[in-house]
Amino acid sequence: MEALQRRILSSPYTVFWKFIFPSIWITGFGAGAVMAAFADQGDSRWIFPSVWILGSSWLLWFALRLRRVSISDETLHISTYVREISLPLSAISRVTQSYMSRPQTITLRTDRDTPLGRKFVFVAAGWPRIVSRHPLAVQLEELVAQHDHLVTRAPNQAMERTADRCTLHF
């Protein structure tokens, strides 16, 4: 039997955003913040270290959530670069896109617990969209909707989930 080809949905820059940029920023800005704190004797000497702590916290939060996502047939493969799980498309309950973060992210949510949690955030391949939806987010919504109709559910539940999934979150 021929192995199914995986299509990578994540940006090739995911490694940069997850590992390289946070390391460089935290180290570089941290060194500058420490030097500024020791160079100045006034109350303003704590501004740079405070910004460094806040910025580093946000960067770590952002980077630790990023996943590598690929698809083959009707299965999503989600990886932290250490651990990978496979999840059927029918398990995805919602697809959303972030317009505020840079780089822009797409979030996949599931109703079931997995070893990697219920929410999977990834940077989509291709150019970011400032005003419109990313084509990958639209495609994933359509795929999930197709699989949603294949799964037997109460009619009200399917309509409710479909309406909920189509809302945009800014």
Q: Are residues 78 and 156 in the same domain?
A: yes
Rounded CA gap, 67 and 123, in Å? Answer: 8
Q: Are residues 122 and 145 in the same domain?
A: yes
Rounded CA gap, 145 and 25, in Å? Answer: 40
CATH of the domain at 135: 2.30.29
Residue 45 contacts residue 37 (beta carbons within 8 Å): yes
Q: Are residues 119 and 148 in the same domain?
A: yes
Percent of the chain with pLDDT strictly greater than 90: 62
Quick: pLDDT tens for 122-160: 999 887 777 788 899 999 999 988 876 554 444 344 333
Q: Are residues 120 and 145 in the same domain?
A: yes
Residue 164 contacts residue 148 (beta carbons within 8 Å): no
Query: In sequence order, which residues have a C-beta less than 8 Å from that of residue 9 and are 6 or more positions away?
Result: 69, 70, 71, 122, 124, 125, 136, 140
Q: Are residues 57 and 72 in the same domain?
A: no
pLDDT for position 42: 81
pLDDT for position 157: 40
Parent domain of 148: 68-165
Quick: pLDDT tens for 15-50: 999 999 999 999 999 999 999 888 877 888 889 999
pTM above 0.85, yes or no: no
